[in-house]
Homo-oligomer: A and B are copies of this chain.
Amino acid sequence: MIELTDIDHVGIAVSDLDEAIATYERLLGVAPTHRERVEDQGVEEVLFAVGSSSIQLLGALGPETPVGRSLEKRGPGVHHVAYRVDDVAAALEHLRTEGARLVDDSPRSGSRNTLIAFVHPVAMEGVLVELVQER
């Protein structure tokens, strides 16, 4: 089993990051808790805390990035759902055993000094899933 301990965040692809931040700030009445440019994922992310989870707004660093291509194809909206796990490597091993299609064969560094891996949407009912391990 994967043992998901929480929803870490819901990742939302947005066309204009600053405009999206302004919208969420205005509607939620709170400021973002984190902003980070993640070069190897081709995104800039901004987090709004919601309980023990976060809303993650994702701006693409260019059109030829995963989020850039998603925006081109589907427009803004939910890009992925991230679940927190205690051990990403063990979770990947379990998924591999179950024959689930993976995007990442092994854990890699994510934002906020986390360890992450993505699972292919075909494995989980059309949802791109990210597994997040805090360290």
A: which residues have CB within 8 A of B? 1-7, 10, 12-14, 20, 23-24, 26-30, 50-53, 57, 74-78, 81, 83-84, 94-95, 98, 100, 121, 123-127
Give the residues in chain B near A50, CB-CB below 8 Å. 4-7, 83
Give the residues in chain B near A127, CB-CB below 8 Å. 10, 12, 76-78
In whole Å, how far is A67's beta carbon from the nearest beta carbon of chain B?
13
User: When A and B form their complex, which 4 residue pairs have the shortest distance between CB atoms, in order from nearest?
Assistant: A1-B29, A6-B51, A77-B126, A76-B126
**A7 touching B7, Cβ below 8 Å:** yes
Closest to A20 in B: B125
Give the residues in chain B near A76, CB-CB below 8 Å. 125-127
